[in-house]
Chains A and B, each alone.
Chain A
Amino acid sequence: MTDSDRFPLLTDEGRRLLRRLREHPRAPKYTAQCGNRLTADYLRRVRAFESELRASPRGWPPGALPHWLDDFVEMCFRDVPFYRRYGDRPLQFADLPTTTRADLSREIWSFVPDSQPLDDLIWYATSGATGHPLTILSHPVAGACYTPLLKLALTRHKVELTSGAGQVACILVGWQKRAYTYPSITPQQNDAGHIKLNLHPDDWRRPDDRAPFLDDCNPEIYTGDPIAFAELLQLPLRSRPRALISTAMMLLPELRRRLESHFGCPVVDVYSMNETGPVAVRDPDMETWTLLQPGLFVEILDSDGNPCPIGRRGEVTLTGGFNPFLPLLRYRTNDFAALDYRGDQPVLIGLEGRRPVLFRSADGHAISTLDVTAALKPFALPQFALHQFADGALHLRLRNGAAADDSQLRAALTPLFGVTQTLTIEHVDSFGDKTLNYTTDLSPTTQPPNP
């Protein structure tokens, strides 16, 4: 594959920027070559998606279904092998079976509609943070639709992206032992640069190159996770982005405060996953999450699969999406929140990733992970994991360099769990790429009832 395949619409200005990013004397050791694969037709479709984002009303009235849902379900039953196996379509949407990551993991090809051409299929593997490594099939248009969605998320925080030709719009930072890294350019932003980078020192010719390279790129925004952002804080950067977009993992309030004060810009939480792209953005009030995609229906289901009433927490379950290779029908995300309304708009509240874990105090009371998160609020922990063993003993792991004193952490957790509860604190060099914040050996039957 050549640059003309990777960048079918590359302009001279885009070519110059790409060369500068590739041949920069302080550039990282990029590990991959990756392009946008956007043709003129595909670019038109991305622009149409962006117009639709601006024009379409989002949401649906309480207790009702979005107007597009019926046609979408009909298409799934007619055109998608996995859903066709359900047999005849039930009359009620709520009677449709739900799907899980395990279904996608087992036979992702069965979710591709028969009418979907296989040209320009994009394939990528995701890590198995939830126990099911997943291959995602996608399309250049779907990949490019992330940009308008993130732009929409930023407008909730009064940030309008303006970068264009010759400038770097966005750097996606990671901190991993191994990662795909590459520079790219985006025709939907007038050939502005997009770079995927790994801040791990092993990925650079000289670790000292990191700050000068990032300063020279001077990206309008950074996207990444708390670990990469914590590393970004350590670098002697002179340049300042206009926003940081945090995805993938829980960002504790103290780290957020430090980032915002250090960089002088908002840190915007975006709820996103590989299966759907960006789903929601956390509002400046920090309480509600505004939904981003007009074509994505969100339900909240209880553990029996029944819809929860407005305001009650349950599993976020999604239908729709913009990836033509992966139409989702009642996809259980393993993330938990409640649906509520602000005016006529549905919003998520109390969003927390992964199945809720209930801890147990020394005297047998249930402790929500939300309470643990609140107790850890004063600490700027970029990465941590709290585990409770079957006998109730607690084990807290922190990444080395965390700016937190063990005795202060104990003092924060003791009021929750009780003074008699054993707590060990361990500082580790690495957690691997992704870690669940909360885990327990208490089985569901030995877990205390919901508080």
Chain B
Amino acid sequence: MPAGFCTTRALNFLRNDLAELASLAQAEKFIADADRREEIARLCFRALGLRPAGETEAQAQDRLATLNSAERQRVIRAAREAEARASEIRRKMAEEAARQAEMKAMRE
């Protein structure tokens, strides 16, 4: 067992940190996508108090922050765009419905 390994930390990572991560991206992405794969590996290292060989503490933190925030930003941006598009479609639907109701009212 490497120096500094702590069972409590490992369990905490598996029980809590991963749950939060699961809400941000699909599980398969953490295998198939290179950035997500690196992110989960680095999160695991951090949780266990480890860091990749050859990196300083500052370098490791910096790299993880970049990966983390990029993914969060991507998710937020995608959600925002999806909501804007849905709103636009609903607005067009309401316009069409109103136009039809008006046409019908004019005929009756």
User: Which residues of A pack against B, CB within 8 Å?
Assistant: 1, 30-33, 81, 87-88, 107, 109-110, 112, 114, 118, 121-124, 135, 137, 180
Contact sample, A vs B, 15 pairs, CB 8 Å cutoff: A1-B103, A30-B107, A31-B104, A32-B100, A32-B107, A33-B103, A81-B82, A88-B28, A109-B86, A112-B85, A121-B92, A121-B96, A123-B93, A124-B100, A137-B89
Give the most central of B88, B89, B104: most A CB within 10 Å: B89
Asked whether A32 and B85 contact (CB < 8 A) given A121-B96, A137-B93, the answer is no
B103 near A32 with CB under 8 A, answer: yes
Complex interface: chain A residues within 8 A of B82 (CB): 81
Q: Does B72 contact A (CB under 8 A)?
A: no
Q: How far is the CB of A152 from chain B (nearest CB, A)?
A: 29
Give the most central of B29, B82, B85: most A CB within 10 Å: B85
Complex interface: chain B residues within 8 A of A81 (CB): 82, 85-86
Complex interface: chain A residues within 8 A of B86 (CB): 81, 107, 109-110
Once the chains are docked, how many angstroms separate the CA of A412 from the CA of B107? 47
A123 near B88 with CB under 8 A, answer: no
Q: Does B32 contact A (CB under 8 A)?
A: yes
Complex interface: chain B residues within 8 A of A122 (CB): 96
Q: Does B37 contact A (CB under 8 A)?
A: no
Interface 1/0s, chain B 77-108, versus A by CB < 8 A? 00000100110111011001101100110011
Complex interface: chain A residues within 8 A of B96 (CB): 121-123
Interface residues on B, range: 20 to 34
Q: Does B73 contact A (CB under 8 A)?
A: no
Once the chains are docked, how many angstroms separate the CA of A135 from the CA of B89? 13
The count of A-to-B residue pairs whose CB atoms sit within 8 angstroms is 48
Once the chains are docked, how many angstroms separate the CA of A198 from the CA of B88? 35
A118 near B26 with CB under 8 A, answer: no
The 5 A-B residue pairs with the shortest CB-CB distance, nearest first, are A123-B96, A87-B26, A109-B89, A88-B28, A109-B86
Complex interface: chain B residues within 8 A of A121 (CB): 89, 92-93, 96
Nearest A residue (CB) for B107:
A31
Q: How far is the CB of B42 from chain A (nearest CB, A)?
A: 22
Q: How far is the CB of A135 from chain B (nearest CB, A)?
A: 7
Complex interface: chain B residues within 8 A of A118 (CB): 88-89, 92
Nearest B residue (CB) for A81:
B82
Nearest B residue (CB) for A135:
B93
Asked whether A33 and B88 contact (CB < 8 A) given A87-B28, A123-B97, the answer is no
Q: How far is the CB of A106 from chain B (nearest CB, A)?
A: 12
Once the chains are docked, how many angstroms separate the CA of A240 from the CA of B90? 44
A114 near B93 with CB under 8 A, answer: no
Nearest A residue (CB) for B102:
A1
Given A112-B85, A121-B93, 19 more pairs with CB closer than 8 A: A31-B107, A31-B108, A32-B103, A32-B107, A33-B107, A81-B82, A87-B28, A88-B28, A88-B29, A88-B32, A107-B86, A109-B93, A110-B86, A118-B88, A118-B89, A121-B96, A123-B93, A123-B97, A137-B93
Complex interface: chain B residues within 8 A of A110 (CB): 86
Q: How far is the CB of B81 from chain A (nearest CB, A)?
A: 8
Asked whether A109 and B99 contact (CB < 8 A) given A87-B26, A88-B29, the answer is no
Once the chains are docked, how many angstroms separate the CA of A143 from the CA of B83? 28
Once the chains are docked, how many angstroms separate the CA of A137 from the CA of B90? 11
Docked complex: B16-56 residues within 8 A CB-CB of A: 26, 28-29, 32
A123 near B26 with CB under 8 A, answer: no
Q: How far is the CB of A29 from chain B (nearest CB, A)?
A: 8
Once the chains are docked, how many angstroms separate the CA of A118 from the CA of B93? 10
Give the most central of A30, A32, A123, A135: most B CB within 10 Å: A123
Q: How far is the CB of A137 from chain B (nearest CB, A)?
A: 7
B107 near A109 with CB under 8 A, answer: no
Complex interface: chain B residues within 8 A of A109 (CB): 86, 89-90, 93
Q: How far is the CB of A6 from chain B (nearest CB, A)?
A: 10
Docked complex: B61-85 residues within 8 A CB-CB of A: 82, 85
Cross-interface CB contact of B104 among A123, A124, A180, cutoff 8 Å: A180
Complex interface: chain B residues within 8 A of A33 (CB): 103, 107
Complex interface: chain A residues within 8 A of B89 (CB): 109, 112, 118, 121, 137
Nearest A residue (CB) for B91:
A118
Once the chains are docked, how many angstroms separate the CA of A81 from the CA of B108? 39
Q: How far is the CB of B88 from chain A (nearest CB, A)?
A: 7
